[in-house]
Amino acid sequence: MIKEPLHVLQQLRQQGDYSGLFSEIELDVSIEQYSRGIEYYQEQLKKIGFEGMDNLLDAGCGPGQWSIAALNSNSKIYGIDPTEGYIEIAQTVASRCGFPRERICFQVGSVEKIGYPDNSFDGLFCYGVLMFTDYKAALGEFFRVLKPGGKLYILASDLGWYLYYFLGKGLFKLNFDQMRLGAGVIINTFRFRKKPFRATQKFFFIRASEIIKNLQTQGFEKISREVDIKDSYSRSRYLGMTAVYEILCSKPLR
């Protein structure tokens, strides 16, 4: 009998037997993500046609909630993430829930240099990750590892999202941590655009138009923003500006 992933994580917290594997913050974030229920993520994947695939890559998988949800309607799932703690959590959930090892694989990895051969995947899912990367390199890797005809889904955040952090979640509520986060990302982005070496960290906002332009440059086709599977708390717009956006496209068959 397959266990409920949320119950596995809650047991880990109660038993406290995760020292040295992942942090308490990583566990708390994971519990929050899994608290929506795997059925929620399965429904969202269905909306974008991410089902019936032989090999699916979750690029920047975090604690693995999307990967595990994708098992319901796809043959084999691969999840990569640069954070060792999240990969440890994803592997623990998959193992203790009884999901077959031959159908799901998690490993530490970067979306900027994906450790799989060309034309490996029928679908690639990238949710809320590109802002922490060299996104041009990542998009090139996405094109490389997708099979001809393979689908790509991206969710990323634009300027409006970080203005929302600075104003809506920060200044208006006197939450200075949120203000610092929003301001830090905005300042970092403009530093990077002016002089890349001046950026203090790899955390930027990316204009949707920039992503679309680079997808076209890589050779993707059927590029569409007519998709909506984002979390309910992720605003599409703030103060008239794009906040969070989604893109669905595919690699040409030829």
> Is 117 a domain residue?
yes
Q: What is the CATH number of the domain that holds 118?
A: 3.40.50.150
Tell me whether residue 32 is in a domain: yes
- How far is it, in rounded angstroms, from Cα 145 to Cα 150? 9
pTM score: 0.92
Query: Among 10-14, 151-155, 187-191, whose mean pLDDT is lowest?
Result: 187-191
Residue with tokens 């309910």: 232
> Is 223 contained in some domain?
yes
Helix 24-34 / helix 84-97 crossing angle, nearest 10 deg: 50
Count up the domains in the chain and report the number.
1
Across residues 69-87, what is the average pLDDT?
A: 97
Predicted local distance difference test score (pLDDT) of residue 254? 81
For residue 197, what pLDDT is reported?
46
| Residues 6+ away with beta carbon under 8 Å from 183 | 162, 166
Residue 76 falls within a domain, yes or no?
A: yes
Quote the tokens at residue 62: 């975090």
Average pLDDT over residues 71-76: 97
Domain-embedded: residue 25: yes
Q: Using one digit for the tens of pLDDT, what is the confidence trace for 1-31?
A: 457 999 999 999 998 877 778 999 999 999 9
Instruction: Say if 186 falls within a structural domain.
Output: no
- Tell whether 20 is covered by a domain: yes
> Helices (H) and strands (E) in the chain — how many of each?
9, 9
Measure the CA–CA gap between 35 and 166, rounded to whole angstroms: 27
Task: Read off the pLDDT band of 198 (50, 70, 90).
Answer: very low
Q: How many CB atoms lie within 10 A of CB 203?
A: 16
Residue range(s) defining the domain that contains residue 104:
5-157+208-230
Task: For residues 127 and 148, give the distance between their C-alpha atoms in angstroms, rounded to a whole number.
Answer: 22
**What DSSP assignment string belongs to 41-83?**
HHHHHHHTT--S-SEEEEET-TTSHHHHHHTTT-SEEEEEES-
Of the given ranges (77-91, 158-172, 180-194, 211-225), which has the lowest mean pLDDT?
180-194
Neighbours of 89 (CB within 10 A): 32
Say whether pLDDT at 200 is over 90: no
Residue 252 lies in a domain: no
